[in-house]
Amino acid sequence: MNAGETEKLLKANEEYAKKEFPGRQPGPPSRRLAVLACMDARLTVSKLLGLKTGEAHIIRNAGGIATDDAIRSLIISNELLGTKEFAVINHTDCGMLTFKDNELAERLAKKYGRAEDASRIQFYAFSNLENNVREQVKKIKEHPLIPKDIRVSGFIYDVDTGRLRNVVYEPQVGASASLAS
Ligand SMILES: [Zn+2]
């Protein structure tokens, strides 16, 4: 068992509220940004992107996949909360590269004796990281309920160096960024 982890969270939160809480912020992200990233524990998304409380939406799931639910969040982010720029972040050594959907479905089917339930879930495992990033960006860009002028970039975060590598990224004229490609 993992005894006491929840209690540690509560204790840490008490410290946060006392020492670090920046005060109440407006709901709409001040930098009009939304990030879709993998849930991997090695990505401290706000930190690695220099985002502060109140500045951006961060949507996370296994793989950083533009699932229907991630798209739902992006639509709400854009339409109701005014975000104008999206970034998709995948990363090296992603667990989603290590299995196939049907393998996981079979494993779960065996374990729980619920083959139908297991086969109904799309897990979105993938075998090519770059292609996966491109696919998610494309899916978001082509979505009929997301405006065409939204900038959608895609990156791979390197868990060995802490650096982002661009996969789908066009530098904006006048903006400064020094990214290795
Ligand atoms: Zn991952």
Amino acid of residue 107: R
- The pLDDT of residue 116 is above 90: yes
pLDDT single digits (tens) 125-177:
999 999 999 999 999 999 999 999 999 999 999 999 999 999 999 998 777 66
Provide the whole-model pTM.
0.93
Q: Residue 178: what pLDDT?
A: 59
Distance 93 CA to ligand 1 centre (A): 7
- What is the CATH number that goes with domain 28-97+127-168? 3.40.1050.10
Distance 40 CA to ligand 1 centre (A): 5
Q: Residue 31: what pLDDT?
A: 98
Q: Residue 172: what pLDDT?
A: 86
Lay out the sheet containing 33-38: strands in order across. 56-61, 33-38, 85-91, 151-157, 164-168
Q: Residue 3: what pLDDT?
A: 77
Per-residue pLDDT band at 180 (split at 50, 70, 90): low
Beta-bridged to residue 166, according to DSSP, are 155
**Per-domain residue ranges of the chain:** 28-97+127-168
Kind and range of the H or E element at 18? helix 5-19
- What distance in Å separates the CA atoms of residue 8 and residue 20, rounded to the nearest whole number? 17
Per-residue pLDDT band at 45 (split at 50, 70, 90): very high
- What distance in Å separates the CA atoms of residue 38 and residue 81, rounded to the nearest whole number? 22
**What residues does the ion ligand 1 have nearby, CB within 5 Å?**
38, 40, 94
Kind and range of the H or E element at 117? helix 115-120
Q: Residue 173: what pLDDT?
A: 76
- The pLDDT of residue 87 is above 60: yes
Distance 69 CA to ligand 1 centre (A): 17
Distance 150 CA to ligand 1 centre (A): 25
Q: What is the mean pLDDT of residues 113-133?
A: 96
Q: Residue 176: what pLDDT?
A: 64
